[in-house]
């Protein structure tokens, strides 16, 4: 006798990690949240294995989201704008499970349909089922092969490696070598191992050398250590912090310049405070840390909290200095930028930036550099730093500076191979695929005379 069915749909269930991943991705795409912050918050109570699953699913989906969107449109046969945004996020998560995670095909399909039914509505499950099955019929590479017939070589790379085309073009220009481009794009999609930094005078590296930790390759203060940094007393106490080795190296170079006059140091764009905390441990005089946004100034103060004194945190815009002109012996201008050098650490950022923003930021960067030079005494040092290799934010900004001598910055990091910018070998340009760091740019300038900022 056949089993009787009521005709009612079964009560759907979805595992907690996938539901959390959906909530996190919705927060990123609907509310503008940052993937690393929202996943850290939502996974706080999970078992490590489940937390790792959520982080990889959300961060990986964010990195490749533009490519997944192109594939979803092809599989659905309709533009994404015709679908509910929540449905699109379910399909994006399905893509990452199918294409980049070791999730069996049947599990990825079934869990995506259940997620749609639980988190959105039973009415959308038929659509989700149909599209996910269509997605699962090909591998990621097969989809890219299908969709790249009419694309230029760089547009195909943009699709295969999950970068907007304008960013691919900018990175290729800064590299000056298309043969290296694939290595860089791949590196942007690999999450970095946490890099820690000891604050000079407050901690020693040996305190952090536990559980598989190893010294940074070149930084005098860095330790690469997997796991949760918050477990370490030195981190909790503010005697050490989390900071990419590239950020440590630009400070290492800037503070190695000699001769340098005596006097206070200035971190002109100090938030969130990691570089300020490193500078304070090296500064023989007073460190002034300026930040225009109050909430970020609070982060700077927190980063400096373990030091007994010798610093001043002020809320001030570097374009309107709250300090006397020509009063600083060393000025760090770590200016706001597109962040194209930190794509591996900020999974969603590549899809939030637009090429039109580059010109706006470059104008701000020029104004800040002019004021940084004007703030520095004759003979003093200005370090112009960006976390972007884009030509318009780096060499073109420095080229317009006046009243300065350009120093040989790579010479101050002699142990670091291939540290010179391909665009101008007087500047430092680090790379994820070469150095395992963010793509940090650093120009070191010595003030020689009057500037446009005075």
Residue 427 token pair:
């500047």
Alpha-carbon span 316 to 294, nearest angstrom: 9
Sheet holding 214-215, edge to edge: 214-215, 222-224, 195-198, 240-242
Is residue 273 part of an annotated ligand binding site?
Answer: yes
270 is in an annotated binding site: yes
SS3 353: coil
Evaluate whether 214 touches 206 at the Cβ level (below 8 Å): no
Locate tokens 């996938």: which residue? 18
272 marked among binding-site residues: yes
Q: Tell me which H or E stretch contains 186.
A: helix 178-188
DSSP state, 420? Answer: B
Is 442 annotated as ligand-binding?
Answer: no
Of 292, 250, 294, 247, which Cα lies nearest the Cα of 269?
292
Alpha-carbon distance of 102 to 94, in angstroms, equals: 12
436 is in an annotated binding site: no
Contact 148, 118 (CB under 8 A): no
| 380 annotated as ligand-binding | no
Return the closest-CA partner of residue 65 out of 189, 156, 153.
189
User: Is residue 274 marked as binding?
Assistant: yes
137 assigned ligand-binding residue: no
The structure tokens listed for 55 are 């982080």
Torsion of CA 97, 99, 102, 104, to 10 degrees: 70
Residues annotated as catalytic are 387
Rounded distance, CA 436 to CA 347, Å?
17
The binding site for S-adenosyl-L-methionine comprises 269-275, 291, 317, 334
Cite the annotated binding site by residue number: 269-275, 291, 317, 334
């Amino acid at each position: 006798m056949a089993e009787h069915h009521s005709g009612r749909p079964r009560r759907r269930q979805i595992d907690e990690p996938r539901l959390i991943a959906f909530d996190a991705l919705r927060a990123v795409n609907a509310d503008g949240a940052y993937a690393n912050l929202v996943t850290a918050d939502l996974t706080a109570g999970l078992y490590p294995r489940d937390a790792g699953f959520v982080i990889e699913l959300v961060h990986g989906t964010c990195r490749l989201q533009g490519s997944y969107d192109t594939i979803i449109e092809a599989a659905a046969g309709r533009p994404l704008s015709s679908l509910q945004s929540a449905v699109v996020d379910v399909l994006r998560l399905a893509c990452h499970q199918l294409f980049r995670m070791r999730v069996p095909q049947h599990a990825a399909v079934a869990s995506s349909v259940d997620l749609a039914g639980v988190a959105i509505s039973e009415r959308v499950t038929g659509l989700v089922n149909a599209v996910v099955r269509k997605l699962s019929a090909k591998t990621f590479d097969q989809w890219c092969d299908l969709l790249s017939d009419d694309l230029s070589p760089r547009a195909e790379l943009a699709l295969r490696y999950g970068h907007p085309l304008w960013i691919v073009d900018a990175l290729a220009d800064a590299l000056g070598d298309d043969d290296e481009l694939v290595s860089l794009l791949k590196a942007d999609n690999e999450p970095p191992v946490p890099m820690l930094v000891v604050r000079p005078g407050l901690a020693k590296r040996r305190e952090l050398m536990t559980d598989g930790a190893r010294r940074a390759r070149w930084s005098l203060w860095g330790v690469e250590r997997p796991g949760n940094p918050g477990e370490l007393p030195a981190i909790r106490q503010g005697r050490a912090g989390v900071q990419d080795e590239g950020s440590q190296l630009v400070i290492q170079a800037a503070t190695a310049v000699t001769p340098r006059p005596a006097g206070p140091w200035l971190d002109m764009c100090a938030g969130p405070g990691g570089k300020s905390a490193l500078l304070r441990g090296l500064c023989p005089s007073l460190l002034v840390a300026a930040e225009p946004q109050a909430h970020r100034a609070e982060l700077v103060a927190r980063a400096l909290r373990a030091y007994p004194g010798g610093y001043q945190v002020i809320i001030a815009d570097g374009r309107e200095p709250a300090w006397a002109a020509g009063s600083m012996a060393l000025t760090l201008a770590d200016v706001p930028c597109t962040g194209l050098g930190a794509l591996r650490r900020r999974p969603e950022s590549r899809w939030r930036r637009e090429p039109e923003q580059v010109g706006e930021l470059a104008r701000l960067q020029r104004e800040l550099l002019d004021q940084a030079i004007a703030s520095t005494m004759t003979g003093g040092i200005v370090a112009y730093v960006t976390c972007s290799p884009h030509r318009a934010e780096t060499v073109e900004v420095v080229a317009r500076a006046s009243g300065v001598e350009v120093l040989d910055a790579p010479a101050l990091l002699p142990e670091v191979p291939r540290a010179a910018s391909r665009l101008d070998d007087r500047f430092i340009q680090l790379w994820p695929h070469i150095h395992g760091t963010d793509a940090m740019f650093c120009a070191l300038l010595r003030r020689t005379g009057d500037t446009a900022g005075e």
